[in-house]
Amino acid sequence: MNLLRVEKVSMKFGPLLAVNNASLHLSQGEILGLIGPNGSGKSTLLHTICGRILATEGRIELLGIDITNQKPNLRASLGMGIKFQLARIYLEKTVRENILIALQASLSIWNQIRNRTLKQSADEIMKLASDFQLIDHLDTPARELSHGQRQWLELGMVLATKPKLLLLDEPTAGMSPKERSDTSRLIRSASRQCGVLIVEHDLDFIKELCDRICVIHHGEIVATGRPKEIENDERVKEVYLTRA
């Protein structure tokens, strides 16, 4: 069974067809890249998968369960986690509090009031902060972190929810080459426990990291295959690679 199955999904904004009959699938432990020129519909497709917008046609399944019209919190409870392009973290809260917010998301309100997981969470927070090189900033307000650290914090927060499917919207945007390489390592490590779908502009990053790549153009998926196959695909060269 596929972890994620997107079947003939379309998304219309009035007369504009942003995504047209797009289909893709993703297995456990796989890293799938979704690339395409600006305005090709890749972010729209990602947003229909995560539930930020609802698809006008088609079907989306997570672990065989139809989630096409489910709310984001229900998708999250089924194991979907998303990292947005611009890090959406809680700027006034410390790094520790940010990770705790993510860790306790599935806890009942009653157990939150009773501080049921505060002690157990301490170890997990330390581990995540250590993995994401934030251990020296645990009590620093997120506002004071650098751009790259904010991106890592959000990635760490999403991983704290132990997702089965990790959606990443341009995770290396604005990062230095060193930060990009570290992020690549972190994503590779995360993919051992979940499937990863990455929307990204950086072709080198995608080619190096992904097991398979989907190319989207004018809302349609025009090619899917291994990085080598995609590199040599004439249609892809025509619509995307020559423009990059």
Partner 1 sequence: MCWGQTGIFTFGQAALFGIGGYTVGLITTKTTITNLFIALSFAIVVGALISILIGFFLFSGKRVGELYVALVTLALSYICERLANSWTFLGSGNGIPGIPFPTILGKEINSNIGLFFMVYSFFAFTLIICVILVNSQFGLTMNAVRDDEERAEFFGYRRNKVQILVFTFSAVLASLAGGLFALSEGLVSPSMSGLALSTTTVLWVVLGGRGTFFGPLIALALLQAVNIQLQNILPSLWTILLGIILLLTMLFLPKGLSSIPSLYRQRKSERSAK
Q: Applying CB under 8 A, which residues contact partner 1? A: 50, 52, 71-73, 76-77, 81-82, 84, 88-93, 97, 100-102, 104-107, 109, 111-118, 157-158, 161
> Which residue number, 103 or 209, has a Cβ lying nearer to partner 1?
103
Question: Closest separation between CB of residue 213 and partner 1, Å?
Answer: 25
> Which residue number, 116 or 201, has a Cβ lying nearer to partner 1?
116
Cα–chain center distance at 214: 15
> Which residue number, 59 or 116, has a Cβ lying nearer to partner 1?
116
Question: Closest separation between CB of residue 106 and partner 1, Å?
Answer: 5
> Which residue number, 40 or 70, has a Cβ lying nearer to partner 1?
70
Residue identified by tokens 């009773």 is 114
| Rounded-to-integer distance, Cα 187 and Cα 31, Å | 9
> Which residue number, 20 or 117, has a Cβ lying nearer to partner 1?
117
> Which residue number, 106 or 189, has a Cβ lying nearer to partner 1?
106
**Which of these, 217, 237, 213, lies nearest to 19 by C-alpha position?**
217
Question: Closest separation between CB of residue 158 and partner 1, Å?
Answer: 8
Question: Closest separation between CB of residue 234 and partner 1, Å?
Answer: 38
In 3-state terms, what secondary structure has residue 136?
helix
Answer yes or no: are the C-beta atoms of 222 and 24 closer than 8 Å.
Answer: no
**Which of these, 181, 182, 151, 185, lies nearest to 168 by C-alpha position?**
151
How many other β-carbons are positioned within 10 Å of the β-carbon of residue 241?
A: 15
Answer yes or no: are the C-beta atoms of 1 and 179 closer than 8 Å.
Answer: no
> Which residue number, 52 or 218, has a Cβ lying nearer to partner 1?
52
Q: Which two tokens stand for residue 37?
A: 């020129």
Question: Closest separation between CB of residue 228 and partner 1, Å?
Answer: 34
Total residues belonging to the chain: 244
Answer yes or no: are the C-beta atoms of 20 and 45 closer than 8 Å.
Answer: no
Answer yes or no: are the C-beta atoms of 65 and 242 closer than 8 Å.
Answer: no
Question: Closest separation between CB of residue 215 and partner 1, Å?
Answer: 26
Question: Closest separation between CB of residue 183 and partner 1, Å?
Answer: 20
β-pairing, 57-62 vs 65-66, is antiparallel
